[in-house]
Structure 1
Amino acid sequence: MTLRPSTSHWGAFSAEMAPDGRLRVAAHPEDPSPSPLLGNFADTLRHPTRVAAPAIRRGWLERGPGSDPGRGDEEFVEVSWDEALDLLASELRRVRDLHGNEAIFGGSYGWGSAGRFHHVQSQLHRFLNAFGGFTSSRNTYSHGTSAIVLTYIVGSSATLLQRGSSWPTIVANTELLVAFGGLPEKNVFVTPGGVTRHHTPGFLGELGRRGVEVALVSPLRDDVPADVGAHWYPIRPATDTALMLALAHTLISEGLHDKAFLDRYCVGYDEFERYLLGLDDGVPKDAVWASTITEVSAADIVALARRMATSRTFITVTWSLQRIEHGEQPVWAGIALAAMLGQIGLPGGGFGHGYGSMGDTGDIGPELRAPKLPQDSNPVQEFIPVARIANMLLNPGTRYDYDGTVRTYPDIHLVYWAGGNPFHHHQDLNRLRTAFTKPDTVVVHEPYWTATARHADFVLPTTVPLEREDFGSGRRDTHLIAMHQVVEPFGQARDDYAILAELATRLGIEERFTEGRSPRAWLEHLYESWRKDLLDKGIPVPSFVDFWSHGQYELPAGDVERTVFADFRHDPVAHRLPTPSGKIEITSQRVKSFGYEDCPGHPAWLEPSEWLGGPRAESFPLQLIANQPRTRLHSQLDGGAVSQAGKVAGREAVRIHPEDARTRSIGNGDVVRIFNDRGACLAGAVVTPDLRRGVVQLPTGAWFDPAGSLCLHGNPNVLTADLPSSSLSQGCTGQHVLVEIERYDGTPPPVTIGQPPHIARDRARTSDVPMRDNS
């Protein structure tokens, strides 16, 4: 056997099946910091939770489509591919003919594969568009709040979310890096589509070696690598905006703000200054005011503001800070603070968003996108913000505010989910379970029996990337990687394209969907079309045959020295921003005109409903931070060796401060019950001083394993509130939640999610339950 090339969201690698039947994986030889997540592949390739054959929920088979409280609890019946696809094609026609294409929700979230052709979201959306369209979703759980508010502040979200200043520019020029939310190294190994060379860990190390001063503003001490040597400001969670406002107030009161920059490059500063000084509400947002909210001392706030004003200062805000109630505010306040320092557009100065949140933020690879499958246009204009799926299913016809408009939730009868796992991403999972009982039919393509698959009616087994051919390349990747097939598909698994092509044949849209091409023919077609565009630009690119044989193509070099907004700073007229004023809008008159109480026209401190300074903390006195896991990507490959090694007592690990543990008689390794009035979960305790008192940390992504309202495995989204960031963005707020913790005495119930649900191979059973009339 020989190692065959492939790639993943956590990096490029090669793999082979060893003679002993185990998968052997080797990191790409040019990767300076290979991701440890590569270690999750071997144990999950043939995991017990792989879906072996098409399966349909027994209640759907016996009672037909319709809202059903049995969804999520009933057994499944294995059927043939022909029967599954015949029934599904008939159901798609029924829903379209009775309710219109708007009644179909295409729920793919897009994380399924690093491959560009087998990108599940593109496959599903292309199919549904050919079928007449579907209700779609917009934005992301990751940074959906920022994607909206940044368009009002700087005119484009891509400027900061996808470009940003490069790490070499920061390392060489920054004197003080103020990291709100930190620079957590665990996240930089992940990028949509992957990166072949993980540069960011090396750049983080350079910060320490070059003596760049780092101010870590986070309740977690290890949100910056230890060798960086950061000064830790253990802020109370959800109060970063108050700290930023106080820093800005100090700049004003001591005359340290850059009035010339504000006058030339910004609009709306005067209104913001009135707010900072408390001229209208009588509350100056000074250091003393902020210290009572943030629990950072007034002296430390003043000292940090002075240091920022006398240094080349780079302010960065992680994506985590906008995944909370009023998440627009820390992003907006961070930009306003950077503008007041007057360093936006200078090398090593200004503002960044997402450093430490994703591997390609600040990276030096080229901004050259890989070839991809076209989705075609969607004839249906209906959509929802992505984090509002439960609201949509539970409240059809209800009106809601979004981005300056008033919209109405559509009436969804069929949910088609392929790629992604809403029972990982979404909040208040007990509420989501109820929501998933409402549609007539839920269809899921899945390699594994995830919680989403267990809450479906149709579960169609799909291949994993190592079981098919593709090519992949992430944003700012240095290579396009040929993804060779390494093993045969598991059981009866098929790739999503094959499944959808069979459905398309039954629905009379095969030619429009497939254009007569096999997967290999599509790979050659997409590659050669992309190659022609690059050749026309004078960039030499090998033929598909040579590329496939070699296993990779190194893309042209990217811009190593990159400073965001440099052109705008040089000439704000010639390079005006795409805002109404052409400038940075510290106050946005458009946002102000919407009249949203939860998102005014300039940065402001808005008290969240769940924080340690509010009345709810009297009942639930610990702030849980549900951040990204160190041992996997979201919930992907939770059964892998790396992910499993991070478990405690077979459950997700929750970190707790020694004093909080002592007062609750909790010790290392204890099984604990984390709870509030929405639900509860079991987890394994890790006692550590690396977080401030009153804060506990439980990563997202443990596969949801419900027993009533209790998750046996430790998924924090059984606790989080399904509330929007604001009426502006309707973004996700799953980062923070108030909880209480107690030691679980006695023998805890076993985790069951590592085994498949009950599956019948014989559909025959005596049943007096009548078929549902859906006419």
Structure 2
Amino acid sequence: MTNKDVKTVYKGTGLCSFGVGANLAEVDVKDGKILRTRPARYDKKYDMEQFRPWTIKARGREFSASNKSLISPFAIGYKKRITSPNRILYPLKREDWDPNGERNPQNRGKSKFVRISWDEATDIIAAEINRVKEKYGLESVLLQCDGHGETKVVHAAHGCNTRLFDVLGGYTMQARQPDSWEGWYWGAKHVWGQDPVGQADMGNLLLDIAENTDMLVFWGCDMETTPWGWGGQLPSNYCNWLTEIGVKQVYICPDVNYGCAAHNDKWIPVYPNTDAALHLAIMYTWLTEDTWDKEYMKTHSVGFEYLKKYILGEDDDKTPKTPKWAEPICGVPSRTIKALARKWAKQTASIAHCNGGSLVRSTYSHEPARLEVCLMAMQGLGAPGRNIVKFIEWNFYGMDSQQPAPRSEVIPSLDAAYRGYNFVQPASFIPKTLIPKAILGEYTAENPLKWHGFTLAGWPRWDQFIEYQYPIPGAQELHMIWSDTPCWTTCWNGGNSMIDALHSDKIETIIVQHPWLENDCLYADLILPVNTKYEENDIGVDSVNGNYCTLYYEEQAVRPLGESKSDWEAVGEVAKKLGVYDAYVEGKTEEEWIRFGFENSHFQDLISFEEFKEKGYYLSPTAEGWENDSRGFENFYKNPEENALNTPTGKLEIYSEELAANFPDDVERGPYPKFIPFGESHQESRLHPRSEKYPYLIVSNHPRWRVHANMDDISWFREIETCKMLGPDGYQYEPVWINPKDAQKLGIVHGDIVKVYNDRGWTLGGAYVSERIMPGVVLQDHGSRLDPIEDGVSDRAGANNLICPTATTSRNAAGEVTSGFLVGIEKTDVFELAKKYPEAFNRKYDKGIGVSIENRVKL
């Protein structure tokens, strides 16, 4: 094979976002097939001096940007996803769904699909839209149009249907709440502001940590997993370098996750949902030993006296939050709490996160998020080496404040070209967490479902005090769903309740567009086959890999499989049938939209479009003088009056007058943070009597071998035991980590198949017996592909989101709860289950992808 036989194209490998790519890769193609995926080597086409590669110098050593992209295993294995046996290759219709007759909603997920033509499919969809519009109004159409899918721009994976319905005149939008930032969004915002999502000001913190931090505390995060999909390998390499220069790394989490295993100098296991108790006990130690920054709290915060009284037991609670008090709650010995608190006070320490986890995706997650800010404030938040960093959101929302690495001179943007959802608030919307409740409840304009806040990451803090409702005045209930995000059941809270909602006879039509037959697709009435990003021409931007900001031209790597079309094209076919195609495409072709994106990218004055297209990508130079940029909250630390926060007072609001005024009776998110083990909304605590029946807390992390529900069908990954465990029946089960002490007590050995259950249902998994999980806790990653045993009750594949709490974060916070809830666990006999559920256990399956498409489609 010669070089002439191989064509190399560039593709971004981002798999979870709105128009933001990650990890630029070179894809080698021969004879219409992908051979391999490789890192993009920047120095092949550019003089290294042109884009000024950065170097951090600290403590006699150097850490430099890579001269190639740092792609993840996801990118390498993704070619298996393109040709997955589970690909949808032509339009499908549920065989017993007749738009002109019986619709049989009770059979969704049970009856098979049959092949139809694009012409028939688009005729049906157009007719259904017109029928629903005339009978109910367009607000009766729910558009599920948000993340957890491929990253595309012109051929946007999410939101093309909203473009169409904007033209048609209305719809109800599923508003995705900030699932990986819940605690910060609903809690920390009320302490330090920090719009848009409530995360810390992280500008230039890689340099600050390297120069000034003695101890970096990784709280509830996995530095070796989540950055695979977004942040490249830079966080991992940086943490290796921190070890070389002597920065100690402490991990506080229930599990020895992959980051903890690779980097920790100290692991402090803590029970899920009890971090707030640990925060309070550390602060108690500082208060009683007088090792906190009193002057800083006087000048930089308001309302600390309320929290101080609560910690010392001088309020109505009358319970000092001592290390001894915290020990039985959080599982951390009091001596360890004191040692950590004393070391923290003597040394400079920063806290590190990595795109959420159990800490901020659980019940009452706003409390540990708020307390974390208070914790850092007591030691002078913003002082050299004392900040909070998140090792993933490089240039998030195009903001330098979200860039801990050296910033780029120009931050590219493709907002102008993005054909998907554009973050405009429609008249009618429902938070994603409340969709099942909205469908299953008897709601009318006179008796509506109500909540506070638009819930979408990016909306300002004060929006959380606005009450919204469904249906909006004058509108009727939902009667149709069109989804390009078919993973609600496996990624959000209470998936079994969503399955019940999808069976509702209120919902007369369910349309899904997706490349693969999986998860919510099983409950569709009609499915449109969609391309992967490797089958399209597009333009992309990489602003989250930590090295450089990159604009790239995505040339089509392989031809579309079967009859699949891009999301933009698929929705366009419906627009044609509705007579609004010209308005939908806004008069531009694919090539014209790509060029339009380039001409509004901020890179248009740095390189011509023709040269850009020929070279394939362009890197933004590192900004000159980046070393002198402010670091985190440095400016606020130095002068809080001139560098006020975007809170009402401009200071850290330990006590929030806004929360007190707007929610005076809310004991779950009061004006200042507390430890809340259980309450009106949730009883997911070892301290609650419910734990006698369900004695284990489950940790459901971002998955190691998937991005949420993406890529569970890559056969290479499934060969790894921490990805799937082979059962005695030949089925590949999702691992369940369990401590040897618990395993022995329950009569479970490594490799046994276990049932994980609570009052919301049950799922199965393969027992992975390991001391990497603390006693009293089990771990099973979220996002496993759905394989129902009994719809709305049980699942074979380990989709534990089905049995998450259905309630939101708390009474007035409509966030998701997908980890840290109570379960029971027991050994089970899969052969006995097969006798009880023969249909589910006799399905055909492919070793590489799980359940075969043959079970669902009449081939």
Conserved? CA contact 1:348–1:563, under 8 Å: no
The question of 1:550 aligning with 2:615 is answered: yes
* Equivalent residue pairs, number: 751
The question of 1:674 aligning with 2:756 is answered: yes
1:512-523 correspondence runs (5 A): 512-523=583-594
1:307-359 Cα distance to aligned partner (Å, 9 max, x none): 111111112355221111100011100000111111x1223213335669999
Q: In the alignment, which residue of structure 2 is the partner of 1:773?
A: none
In structure 1, give the amino acid aligned to 2:494: D
Conserved? CA contact 1:365–1:557, under 8 Å: yes
Task: Please list every run of at least 4 consecutive aligned residues from structure 1 whose deviation after the TM superposition is greater than 4 angstroms.
Answer: 18-22, 62-67, 353-361, 374-379, 558-562, 750-753, 757-762
State the Cα distance separating 1:489 from its structure 2 match: 0.6
Structure 1 pair 568–760 and aligned structure 2 pair: CA distance change class (3 A)? closer
The question of 1:467 aligning with 2:535 is answered: yes
Distance (whole Å) between structure 2 residues aligned to residue 160 and residue 556 of structure 1 = 29
The question of 1:385 aligning with 2:428 is answered: no
Distance (whole Å) between structure 2 residues aligned to residue 684 and residue 255 of structure 1 = 49
1:679-690 correspondence runs (5 A): 679-690=761-772
The question of 1:525 aligning with 2:525 is answered: no
Conserved? CA contact 1:277–1:285, under 8 Å: yes
Aligned with 1:4 (options 4, 9, 17): 9
1:559-618 Cα distance to aligned partner (Å, 9 max, x none): 466522222223222221111111111111111221322111111011131123322221
In structure 2, give the amino acid aligned to 1:472: G
Structure 1 pair 742–548 and aligned structure 2 pair: CA distance change class (3 A)? same
State the Cα distance separating 1:259 from its structure 2 match: 1.5
Aligned with 1:745 (options 829, 836, 844): 829
State the Cα distance separating 1:227 from its structure 2 match: 4.4
Conserved? CA contact 1:363–1:476, under 8 Å: no
TM-score (norm 1): 0.91
Distance (whole Å) between structure 2 residues aligned to residue 694 and residue 59 of structure 1 = 46
Conserved? CA contact 1:109–1:420, under 8 Å: no
Q: In the alignment, which residue of structure 1 is the partner of 2:86?
A: 49
Distance (whole Å) between structure 2 residues aligned to residue 238 and residue 542 of structure 1 = 50
Aligned with 1:289 (options 303, 313, 325): 325
1:246-285 correspondence runs (5 A): 246-280=281-315, 281-285=317-321
Q: Aligned to 1:722, what secondary structure does the other structure show? A: coil
In structure 1, give the amino acid aligned to 2:564: A
Q: In the alignment, which residue of structure 2 is the partner of 1:237?
A: 272
Structure 1 pair 759–285 and aligned structure 2 pair: CA distance change class (3 A)? closer
Q: In the alignment, which residue of structure 1 is the partner of 2:724?
A: 647
Aligned with 2:674 (options 598, 604, 607): 604
1:229-285 Cα distance to aligned partner (Å, 9 max, x none): 321111111100011011111111111121211111111111111211221221111
Aligned with 2:803 (options 719, 732, 737): 719
Conserved? CA contact 2:486–2:512, under 8 Å: no
Aligned with 1:630 (options 700, 704, 708): 704
1:422-462 Cα distance to aligned partner (Å, 9 max, x none): 12212222211111123221111100001211111121000
The question of 1:413 aligning with 2:413 is answered: no
Q: In the alignment, which residue of structure 2 is the partner of 1:765?
A: none
Aligned with 1:370 (options 405, 413, 426): 413
In structure 2, give the amino acid aligned to 1:408: Q
1:264-663 correspondence runs (5 A): 264-280=299-315, 281-317=317-353, 319-320=356-357, 321-342=359-380, 344-353=381-390, 362-364=404-406, 366=408, 368-372=411-415, 373=418, 375=421, 380-395=426-441, 396-397=443-444, 398-402=448-452, 403-410=464-471, 411-419=477-485, 421-438=487-504, 439-477=507-545, 478=548, 479-531=550-602, 534=603, 540-557=605-622, 559=626, 563-593=631-661, 594-595=663-664, 596-608=666-678, 609-645=683-719, 646-649=723-726, 650-663=732-745
Q: In the alignment, which residue of structure 2 is the partner of 1:133?
A: 170
Conserved? CA contact 2:185–2:198, under 8 Å: no
1:366-420 Cα distance to aligned partner (Å, 9 max, x none): 3724313265685842222222221222223443332334433332112111145
Structure 1 pair 468–33 and aligned structure 2 pair: CA distance change class (3 A)? closer
Distance (whole Å) between structure 2 residues aligned to residue 297 and residue 759 of structure 1 = 52
Identity fraction in percent: 25
Q: In the alignment, which residue of structure 2 is the partner of 1:702?
A: 784
Distance (whole Å) between structure 1 residues aligned to residue 222 and residue 822 of structure 2 = 24
Distance (whole Å) between structure 1 residues aligned to residue 146 and residue 200 of structure 2 = 18
Per mean C-alpha deviation after superposition, the further-off stretch among 396-405 and 695-704 is: 396-405
Conserved? CA contact 1:31–1:198, under 8 Å: no
Where do 5+ consecutive residues of structure 2 fail to align?
A: 1-5, 15-21, 42-66, 397-401, 453-463, 472-476, 727-731, 835-840
Q: In the alignment, which residue of structure 2 is the partner of 1:172?
A: 211
Structure 1 pair 113–82 and aligned structure 2 pair: CA distance change class (3 A)? same
Q: Aligned to 1:61, what secondary structure does the other structure show? A: coil
Q: CA RMSD in A?
A: 2.6
Distance (whole Å) between structure 2 residues aligned to residue 214 and residue 43 of structure 1 = 36
Distance (whole Å) between structure 1 residues aligned to residue 676 and residue 140 of structure 2 = 37
Conserved? CA contact 2:755–2:825, under 8 Å: yes
The question of 1:80 aligning with 2:177 is answered: no
State the Cα distance separating 1:529 from its structure 2 match: 2.5
Per mean C-alpha deviation after superposition, the further-off stretch among 219-228 and 541-550 is: 219-228
In structure 2, give the amino acid aligned to 1:756: I
Conserved? CA contact 1:106–1:128, under 8 Å: no
Q: Aligned to 2:481, what secondary structure does the other structure show? A: strand
Structure 1 pair 392–585 and aligned structure 2 pair: CA distance change class (3 A)? same
Distance (whole Å) between structure 2 residues aligned to residue 699 and residue 361 of structure 1 = 28
Aligned with 1:119 (options 153, 156, 166): 156
Per mean C-alpha deviation after superposition, the further-off stretch among 144-153 and 711-720 is: 144-153
Q: In the alignment, which residue of structure 2 is the partner of 1:766?
A: none
In structure 1, give the amino acid aligned to 2:25: F
TM-score (norm 2): 0.83
Distance (whole Å) between structure 2 residues aligned to residue 310 and residue 660 of structure 1 = 38
State the Cα distance separating 1:95 from its structure 2 match: 1.8
Distance (whole Å) between structure 2 residues aligned to residue 356 and residue 475 of structure 1 = 9
